[in-house]
Amino acid sequence: MQCFFKKSAKVFFLILFFSTILFSQTVWEIESYNISLEDNTIKIFNDKKLITEITSFAFNFITPNEITVENTYKDSLVLKLSFDETDGINKDFPKEILLNISYHNNTFHFSAFHNSFKHITIQMKDLDEHYFGLLEKLYPHNAKSPDLRGETVDVEIYSAGYEDYAENYASAYSAFYMSSNGYGSFFDTFAKGRYHFSINGKTEIYHQTQKLDWYLFYGPTGDKIHSEYYSVIGKPKYVPIWACGPIFWRDENYGGKDQILDDIQKFTELEIPLTACFVDRPYSNGANDWSKMDFNDQFANPEIWIKTINEKYGMEFMTWIGSLTFGDTDFPGLLPNYKTYIDLTNPEALVELEKRLSENQYSVGVKGHKMDRADEAFPSTAIWHDKVGESETRNKYVYLLAKTIHEFLTKAVGKDQFNFARAAFHRTQPYLSAIWGGDVRTNWIGMASNQANAMRSSFMGFPVWGTDVGGYLGEGRIDELLYMRWLQWGTWNGMFDIKIDGSGGKGEDRPPWKYSEQLQNVFREACETRMKMLPYSYSLANTSYKNGVIMKPLTYMYPTDEKTYNIWDEYIFGNALLIAPVLTKLNSRDVYLPEGIWFDYNNLNKTYKGPTTIHQEVPVDIVPIFIKQNSIFVTGNIFQGNSKIWDGEIKGKEKISIHVFPGDINSHTNFTYVDLLDGDTEKNMLLSHTLNQISFNSPKLSTLSDVEIKLDFRPSEILSNGKSIEYSYDENLGIAKISFDKIERINIEVIY
């Protein structure tokens, strides 16, 4: 009887599905998509799968009484929207407008405009979807789950006070979200908005703007969706190799330049590798030790000591900057009704800002900036040189700051520069190297909340994200276990920046030399791991435009797996490594592994078949990491920083290891390696498994290399370019290793 009801239900839903298509009038077909129109409802299908059902477009809250087809073209559909009523305010409110729907490469673009429009609303039927993105803040009620189903979210940058949220000043926003139904939604505007997700059977997008400028990107996974998104907003900014390594800083360097150099020397004596550092405010003259944007007496002769950082230690140097003068009104082009912030649309202000930064900083070796305060109580009623609507001010200001500083840096030093901020909005990706997760509290709750912030930022499409390792808000000595776990997690962030003092410069007790030998060892190992992973993280950062963000939430990669929707404390680093950071005092944690085979990074003899949840013991020297079957990642020694002092120069002796984990028969994958020493050329590595043979191919690389292939057996033979070659096989780990003692194209066939 039960079987009968199951079959009947299945037949019923099939009939319902096909009748939906049958009775909906298909008005446009393109590639694998078709759009139907019925009772003013627009439905979009892909291969008969309903992607979304748009029940209404409203302009000034007035919906059209009729939608008809005006025209169809090869790559676009034009609909006529007719209105019986007006909004009661604008006498120019139209009787008809044209809605254009264009298509390119799995992307639909909806556009319409009229001078009388002030408000645009889109409503869609709830198709039992789950939604991810829009904001970094854990909104509402400090919820760590990234799933926004059932929530109402405002899209406007505003930094609430320290009391409001555990993570504090997490200020990345975007009018972009992903749906578990396989699409990404992007409303291209700086105007503030409000989103209602799955409330009363519908999802609603609202923005206070004149123009409908809405995109739907369809793709099986988040990386495919984001690749199309970046084709609209622009390719994410280049990240230099030195910015991919360990970066340290203090909140306040009361000891001036001598303290910075002393810190670097002490790190070097402990043989802890670093690639960059930056100075936070105060270091300048003027209001709030900043407004002159120069170096004060404690940091005198910056061209000398920055040169020491560069040449002696092989590191780069950055500074804190803000877009405000803290009341110093001698700066030209301040916002006239709020004389603190610099008007970034005022030509006089831009000239002066560039002059001060170029003459005082770039000329002495500064290569980048931590950009702060653009979000903090910025006035929506500010009067700009160029007219900007009140609805756009907060969001657009953050964008303009990223764009302005990027252009200054590019003009001064080319692409070898890095800028990061806590405040970000969509379209900053081409101009902002990274975002950091705000002024996080120095405790377990703060660290865990920041991990949840990272996942939300990834869904929005910010490729590189990093926490302030150790936290920001907190005086006194940080708990050693917390510090060690934070370091281990930070190693696997997009950006690895480590704060070595308390908030406000108080309690200078975070440098590793003021802690136990165990902490120092964990600190060293974290930084060494980061250096070892540079070939991989550098490649991920600089191919995000086609391969997606670095820290991928599980839903991003497995959108049909409902168990991933609430998971915030795990992610995929690139496409190969699942990271499950330890975010509590406990010495164990549960880890969810999605479908497929997973190898234990810490013990390659252990494998797991997902989907499954496992319980892991996590002593202090362990971070749960798992390698996905059918994947490739690369490690090696290609850049040094201060490690050149104890390791010696490696120039001309760089080497990488290519780690290959074949999938099942008929599987294949690839990895795009960005070859630093060959002009950043992208080189596509290919892995495939066919009957009785595993193949790996790579273009000619600029370094010597080892290829390490995970196998369950000793191969009968390994061929290179059709000829049998020598290899070693580790019976314990099941790793076949082939060393190439000269630089050449790699073509390997493993025969079994």
The band of 160, judged by pLDDT with boundaries at 50, 70 and 90, is low
Would you give the DSSP letter of residue 473?
Answer: B
> Which strand ranges, in their side-by-side order, compose the sheet holding 468-469?
465-466, 434-436, 418-421, 366-372, 316-322, 276-279, 246-250, 496-499, 468-469
Q: Is the pLDDT of residue 580 over 90?
A: yes
**Residue 271 tokens, joined:** 């043989």
CA distance 569 to 591: 9
pLDDT of residue 14: 41
Buried b (16+ CB within 10 A) or exposed e, 447-467: bbbbbbbbbbbbbbbbbbbbb
The band of 6, judged by pLDDT with boundaries at 50, 70 and 90, is very low
Peptide bond into 140 cis (omega under 30): yes
Mean pLDDT of the chain: 93
Distance of CA 89 to the CA centre of its chain: 43
pLDDT of residue 474: 80
The band of 378, judged by pLDDT with boundaries at 50, 70 and 90, is confident
CA distance 512 to 522: 10
**Residue 283 tokens, joined:** 């270091």
Compute the C-alpha angle 127/133/138, nearest 5°: 115
CA distance 160 to 709: 50
pLDDT of residue 477: 84
Rounded percentage of the chain residues whose pLDDT exceeds 70: 95
The band of 12, judged by pLDDT with boundaries at 50, 70 and 90, is very low
Q: Is the pLDDT of residue 198 over 70?
A: yes
**Residue 139 tokens, joined:** 């909104």
CB 277 within 8 A of CB 247: yes
Q: Is the pLDDT of residue 235 over 60?
A: yes
Number of Cβ within a 10 Å radius of residue 506? 14
**Residue 424 tokens, joined:** 């970000």
pLDDT of residue 508: 66
pLDDT digits (tens, 9 = 90+) for 120-144: 999 999 999 999 999 999 977 889 9
Enumerate domains of the chain plus CATH numbers. 25-233 (2.60.40.1760), 241-534 (3.20.20.80), 652-751 (2.60.40.1180)
pTM listed for this prediction: 0.95
pLDDT of residue 98: 98
pLDDT of residue 380: 86
pLDDT of residue 129: 97
pLDDT digits (tens, 9 = 90+) for 603-616: 999 999 999 999 99
pLDDT digits (tens, 9 = 90+) for 296-315: 999 999 999 999 999 999 99
Please name which of 529, 441, 520 lies closest in space to residue 484, comparing C-alpha atoms.
Answer: 520
Average pLDDT estimate for 638-655: 96
Count helices and strands in the chain by DSSP H and E runs: 13, 43
pLDDT digits (tens, 9 = 90+) for 89-126: 888 999 999 999 999 999 999 999 999 999 999 999 99
pLDDT digits (tens, 9 = 90+) for 473-520: 887 789 999 999 999 999 999 999 999 998 765 556 899 999 999 999
Q: Is the pLDDT of residue 542 over 50?
A: yes
**Residue 743 tokens, joined:** 């630089």
Peptide bond into 611 cis (omega under 30): yes
CB 529 within 8 A of CB 431: no
Q: Is the pLDDT of residue 19 over 60?
A: no
